[in-house]
Chain A
Amino acid sequence: MAHFTKPDEGSWTEHFKIGTEPISYEDSVSPEFYELERDAIFRRTWLNVGRVEQLPRKGSYFTKELDAARTSIVVVRGNDGEVRAFHNVCRHRGNKLVWNDYPREETSGFCRQFTCKYHAWRYSLEGELTFVQQEGEFFDLDKSDYGLVGVRAEVWEGFIFVNLDPENTTPLREYLGEFGKGIEGYPFDKLTQVHKYRAEIGSNWKLFIDAFAEFYHAPILHGGQYEPEERAKIQKYGYQALAYDVDGPHSLVSSWGGIAPPQEPKMVKPIERALRSGLFGPWDAPDIGLTTEQLPPAINPTRDPRWGMDSFVFFPNFMLLIWRPNWVLTYHYWPTSYNTHIFEGTAYFVPPKNAFERLQQELAVVSFKEYGLQDGNTLEATQTMLESGTVTDFPLCDQEILLRHLHNTAGQYVRDFQQRQAKPAAPSRS
């Protein structure tokens, strides 16, 4: 039974010409493929590493471990107010420049300059080498040759992105495409109340995006979170999205409203009734200066009155969820090997005015965590059996279109990269 209209082709998957055959998931169990992804994807695309609010003033900095891209970076606001990124490595003997106690852990803070722990070489916030200990002992050392190695950094709507490809010429805004342009104007800067969660997940990074890019699983895996009567109803109906969309490597699922607020209070658990909140967020949306109808055009793209949330997948590893009750959730997936990754989930709310609103937000983030725990462990179970190689043909349904698109896109990036590598080098000019 169709709840929502599909394209004339009869399915979203055929509409976007993505292919309907079973997929193998070889790309999620192969260490060799992962090594290719590191160079073809994580060293070539724009990666979101944080928000401008993390750099409130000149000299504010944070580090980001980018294991998949084989580096660590430091992101800093310079004396001119600009956000810059550098490889986190001292030019003298290669020590990691900024870290505390544990070299592999991320850190953040405020400083006037960066000083290497090893021999006290110093760098300005703009990356220039400004001081060399016993400079006279060196041989023809020109400090201007030894500044920090820059990484291209650009900011979109307050989200800081970096691109590690020195040959990249695509500006961030162009890379983010139609979805990026169509989200611009959303008041992210008003959502400054932040809750951030982190987990080490025993699966390939793409499998967790798969889990969050389809809601076909929600009535089943998360059935226990509904009241029994509601659970039976939801399982019978199953899940259908309002709309899917694809733009270049990126994709979108636009979803109906669910339970914020529910049609009947008895559909939800007592704590949700008492706090008027739940997984979909507080039922009473705070003022963000825009009504639902006034949201930028990429948000609720079908302008359906039943709309509840949009989930954008910005390739490769950044998901942006915009919820009807005026809050935002982001997901990041940072690979650490072919079958492990770090997951980050960050919730952004309008700062609560009173204790009741604070509790409404607490329930929304704790609900996200409870669901996430169910998802995370299921992924490890999936990874181990995919690795067994017993089954290699997996059928995906129309509600799983974003998964196909993600795996196809990763495959395409890797193939393009291999082709470029295989090309004989252009003859050098004599």
Chain B
Amino acid sequence: MANVLPPEFADLEPFADWAIPTERARYAKRIASSMDELQAFYDAAYPRLESSTEYLQQVSMDDIGEEDKHLLWLFCSLVTVAFPVEAWRQARVPDSGASSIDAVLEPAV
């Protein structure tokens, strides 16, 4: 499969399926994943987020390219996956049962 992320982030290509454009779909993938899968994605992506502040600050939202868009979406997935990994120890919010809060409007990118 062709690479979808910027070349500097080639090591994250195995996790490219987390480059998902909407919050609703990112959250759906999170709750459909096992803790092992979430942990593996987190362990690979978190250190790259931590060391990429400068890179991300140079990606302008006005003319963001396709590869950077994918990278941004992948890190947006990391944001939602951080909750189970860092706090909940489970994919769902504890005691949230059948309740849901759905994104009905969000920025295009």
Contact = CB atoms under 8 A, between A and B. Distances in A.
Interface of A: 193-199, 201-202, 224-225, 269-271, 274-275, 343, 345-346, 351-359, 362-363, 365-366, 369-370, 372-374, 376-378, 380
Contacts of A355: 56-57, 59, 61, 64, 68, 71-72, 75
Nearest to A376: B99
A358 B102 contact: no
Interface residues of B, number: 40
Contact of A194 (B87, B99, B107): B107
Given A196-B104, A359-B75, A366-B79, 4 more contacts: A202-B99, A271-B82, A355-B71, A374-B94
A294 B61 CA distance: 29
A55 to B, nearest CB: 15
Contact of A370 (B72, B83, B104): B83
A269 B82 CA distance: 9
Contacts, number: 120
Interface in B78-109: 78-80, 82-83, 86-88, 93-97, 99-107, 109
A147 B69 CA distance: 48
Nearest to B24: A197
Contacts of A374: 93-96
A377 B82 contact: no
A88 B73 CA distance: 39
Given A353-B60, A355-B56, A270 B103 contact: no
A282 B17 CA distance: 27
B52 to A, nearest CB: 8
Contacts of A358: 61, 72, 107, 109
B83 A366 contact: yes
Nearest to B56: A356
A376 B99 CA distance: 7
